[in-house]
Amino acid sequence: MLSLYRKIFSTKRTVIPVHDLPQPEHIAIIGNRIHHHVKHLFRGSLAIREVDTGSSNACEQELTALSNPYYDIERFGVHFVASPRHADMLMVTGSVTRNMKAALIKAYEATPDPKIVVAVGDDAIDGGIFKGSYAVCDGVKHVIPVDLEIPGDPPSPMTILTHLLAYLDSK
C-alpha cells in the first residue's frame, strides 16, 4: 500500500514560472481600455451570460478565473449575470450538442438587442474533436450568428481579455 501511495504522489508536477504569467500591470492596461469602451458602448457595465452547450468545463474554469482577485474583471465594469434577459453578451462554450441546441436558441432570443455572441474555445468555434459527430451540431455559428471567436483549448483568461478588447476596439 505504501509503495502505491509513493507511486501516485511522487510524480513530477509542472510549475509555470512567475515570469510567464501575465503581469498585473498588463491586466490593468487592457482592463482600463476595456472599461473605457464599456462605459462608452454599454453605458457603464457589460453584462455577460455564459452558456455551456456541451463543454468539458475547461473554458468555464478560465471564465471563472476572470472573476478571481488576480484578474478581477468586475473592476472594469464587466460582470456575469444569471439571466440572458439581463445580458449584453452571450459567451458560449463547448460544441453545441443536439440536446442543448434549443436552449441556446432560447437564450439567444431572450437576450435583448443589440447583443454580442462570443464563441469561447475551439469546441465552440468548430466543434473541436467532436466535429461531425452524430451528437453535436458542430460550432455555435451553425446554430446562431457569432460576432467573435476566441480560439484555444481552453483560452487563458488573458487571451479572453485581449480578444474582448480587440473586438471592443473595432466598435
Higher confidence at residue 23 or residue 135? 135
Average pLDDT estimate for 92-106: 93
Residue 17: per-residue pLDDT: 44
Q: Is residue 6 domain-resident?
A: no
Q: What is the pLDDT of residues 3-59, one digit of tens each?
A: 444 444 444 444 444 445 456 677 788 888 888 888 888 878 899 999 999 888 888
Q: Is residue 4 domain-resident?
A: no
Nine cell digits for residue 31: 482592463
Domain count, the chain: 1
Instruction: List the CATH number of the domain containing 74.
Output: 3.40.50.12280
Nine cell digits for residue 105: 436558441
Domain that holds residue 55: 24-170
* Three-state secondary structure call for residue 106: helix
Q: Is residue 142 domain-resident?
A: yes
pTM of the model: 0.81
